[in-house]
Amino acid sequence: MRFQQRRELALAPADEARAGPYGAPGTGAPEAGGLSSRELLKILRGLTRLNVVGADVVEVAPAYDHGEITTLAAATVIFDVITLLSRRR
């Protein structure tokens, strides 16, 4: 996950394809050795000191999502991003 910061503003993209196939199987291209959902959420929840101004969630493919694991992970990421945005300075 890369963070872009300019003038104390931060953009936090969350690419579900960077998650491992065990934590997010419903992506177009799962990455072996990628982040677990726990690791991704820990990173996001650690961004409270940054002035996050936007984010996006990409690579959720419901057709490949067995048991809605990826959908649930993406929904949790979106919730955490909304929480970060609500704390915006």
**Mean of per-residue pLDDT scores for the chain:** 78
pLDDT at position 51 = 82
**Is this structure's pTM higher than 0.85?**
no
The domain containing residue 49 runs over which residues? Answer: 4-86
**Nearest Cα to Cα of residue 71 among 47, 37, 46, 45:** 37
Q: How many domains does the chain have?
A: 1
Q: How many other CB atoms sit within 10 Å of the CB of residue 13?
A: 14
Higher per-residue pLDDT: 19 or 49: 49
Give per-residue pLDDT as tens, 73-86: 889 989 998 998 88
Higher per-residue pLDDT: 72 or 18: 72
Structure tokens, 5: 């910061």
